Amino acid sequence: MIQLGISAFYHDAAACIVKDGKVLAAAEEERFTEIKHDESFPYNAIEWTLEYCNLTIEDIDQVCWYERPDLKKDRVLKTFKKYWWKTFRLKRKYLKDLKKNNPDRILKDLGYKGEIIYIPHHLSHAAFSYLTSPYEEAAILTVDGVGEWETLTISLGKGNEIYKIYGVDFPNSLGLLYSTVTAFLGFKPNEGEYKVMGLAPYGDPNRYYNDLKKVILPGEDLKIDMKYFPWEYSDSIMFNSKFAHLVKMLPRLSEEEVTQDHKDLAAALQRVYEEEFLKLVKKAKDITKVNNLVLGGGCAYNGVANAKAYSYFKSIHIPFAPSDAGSAIGACLYNHEGERQDNTSPYLGPEYTDEYVEELLKNYKLKSVRYNTDEELTKRVAALIPKNNIVAWFQGRMEFGARALGNRSILANPRNAEMRQKLNMVIKKREGFRPFAPSVLKEQQKTWFLVKEDIPYMNQVVKTKGFNRQDPPNYLPSATHVDYTARVHTVTKDQNKKYYLLLQELHKQTGFGVTLNTSFNLKDQTITMTPKQAIERYISSEIDYLVINNHLIFR
C-alpha cells in the first residue's frame, strides 16, 4: 500500500509518501517556494516526494487528506449565516475559493484516479502524535486554532486505535486566543506565536492577567467571550476595539518598538494559556487514567506549557511536526491497517551527494576542504565553535517540521554571553529577545538541564541546572533565556550519528557536550533546503564557516 498524504489551504502545506505504514519522504511546500508557512496546494512537495521514491502519481494507491472539507464547509457556511449581513462578500469569496481548492479536481488534473480518504483534522493531529510515539496506551490532547469545527480534542490511544472522548468547537478556541494576542502585539498569526512565548519572560504577567482572564467565561468547558473577537465574521481582523479597551492599550504595529507594556501582555497571555492548557491536561488524565500523554496541533509548539504537563503525566511525547504539516503524515498513518512502523525520524527531506556539492562549489570563489571521514570533520568543527566561530551546518536529509535538529542548523558557542546577541542582530537580523536552543548529548542533558526524559525534537522548555552567574565555567549564557530556561534538544547516536559525533568531540575538547543551535536561515527566510541556498546565504551573511556534508567551506 502506497499512500500520498497531503495538507493544504490553511497553513504549513505539506506532502508525504508512506509505504506499508513507513514514511519514506515528507516535505513542506514552503521549502520549495520560500514562502513561510505556505498554504498553497503542495505541487512541489508532491513532485519531490514522488521523484525521491521513484514513483509516479499512477503508483499511488490512496491519497489521504488531512481534514474533512464537507465538515469545514458546514462550519463556515453556518457561521456566515449567523452573521449574514457582515459576511456577504466573504461568503462569495469563500465559495469561489472552494471550487478552486477542490482536492478531487486538483488530484484528477494531476492524473490521479484512485480513492481519496478524508480524515478529520484533529484526528489527523492525534494520529500523527500517537502513532509516532513509543506508547501502546496514551492520552492524546490536540489543541490548535480550528479544524473543521473542533479546536481541541482529548482521545485515548490504545494499540493502533484512537478513541475520541472529548472536544470543544469553534469559536471557543485556545489557539485562536493566542494567535489573536500575537496579532495585537504586532506579530503575524500562525507564525509569530513563538516570538510571544519568547517575549513573555521579560514581562510581569500580573499587570494584564485579570483583564485578559475576562475573555474566558467561567465554567468547566472552554468558553470564549466573543464580544471581544470578530473571528466568526472576519478573515482579516482578529480583535475589536472592545479588546483594546479591555487591556487599555492600542495594538502594536509591526514596525513599532516593543515596550514593557507589550512584554507584560505577552506574559499575561502565556500565563492564561498555561492555566487553560493544564486544565485540559488534567481532564485528559482524569478521563483516560493512563500515565502517558501525547500532544498534537500547532499549540504543541508551546514548549513552556508542554514541560508543565509532567504535573499529571509520567511520560510525554510531542512529535517533530505537530502542526498541520505533520497531519499529512497523520492522515496516512491513521488509515494504515497493518502493524505500526517506526516513524520517529524527522529527517525525511532532500539530501545531496558530496560530488554534487563539489561540482556546485566550482561556481563560487570560496575555499573548501573535503574531509575523508566524519571523525576528521567533526574534530575540526569542534575546534572552531569554542573559538566563537559561527558555523552553518548542512547535513544529510532535511528535517520535516519547524525545528532544525542538526541537519540544517547554525551552531555557535553556548558559553559566550555575547553570542546570542550577535546571532540575533548580525546573522539572523531579528528581535533581540528571541532565545536560542541548546543541542546536548543525551549523556550530558541532566548535567545541564532539569529534564524529565529525552527531548529529541526540541519541544520542551526546561530550567537550566545550577545556573550561577558567579561561576562562568559552568554556565551556558547564550543558550539560556532570561528566565533561566532553555528549549533543549537531546541528541542520540541512533537519531543523528554525525551530529552526535560533533557533540562528542566538543565534549572531548571542552568538557561541554553542548552547542547553541538555531535554524539555518536568515531574516524572513524559510529553513535552508539545498546546497545552493546554503552557499548563497553563507556568502550574504557574516557566518564564519559553512559545512556541507564533509566539505568545510570558508572565505
Instruction: Give the C-alpha separation, 48 to 29, whole Å.
Output: 10
Instruction: Give the C-alpha separation, 23 to 367, whole Å.
Output: 38
Instruction: Give the C-alpha separation, 75 to 65, whole Å.
Output: 18
3-class DSSP assignment, residue 69:
helix
The pLDDT, as a whole number, for residue 473 is: 47
Fold of 354-554: DHBP synthase (3.90.870)
What CATH homologous superfamily does 174-317 map to? ATPase, nucleotide binding domain (3.30.420.40)
Q: Do domains 2-80+88-129 and 174-317 have the same CATH topology?
A: yes
Instruction: Give the C-alpha separation, 555 to 550, whole Å.
Output: 17
Structural element, H or E, at residue 25: strand 22-28
CA neighbours within 13 Å on the CB side: how many for 366?
Answer: 26
CB 197 within 8 A of CB 178: no
DSSP summary character for residue 426: I
Q: Is the pTM of this model over 0.85?
A: yes
3-class DSSP assignment, residue 491:
strand
- Does the structural domain 2-80+88-129 have CATH classification 3.30.420.40? yes
Place of cell 504535573: 311
CB 390 within 8 A of CB 423: yes
In the chain, domain spans: 2-80+88-129, 174-317, 354-554
Instruction: Give the C-alpha separation, 239 to 138, whole Å.
Output: 36
CB 45 within 8 A of CB 15: yes
The pLDDT, as a whole number, for residue 424 is: 84
Low-confidence ranges of the chain (pLDDT < 50): 472-473
Report in angstroms the alpha-carbon separations of 200 from 210, 268, 272, 384. Answer: 16, 8, 12, 33
CB 294 within 8 A of CB 140: yes
3-state helix, strand, coil in the chain (%, to 5): 40, 20, 40
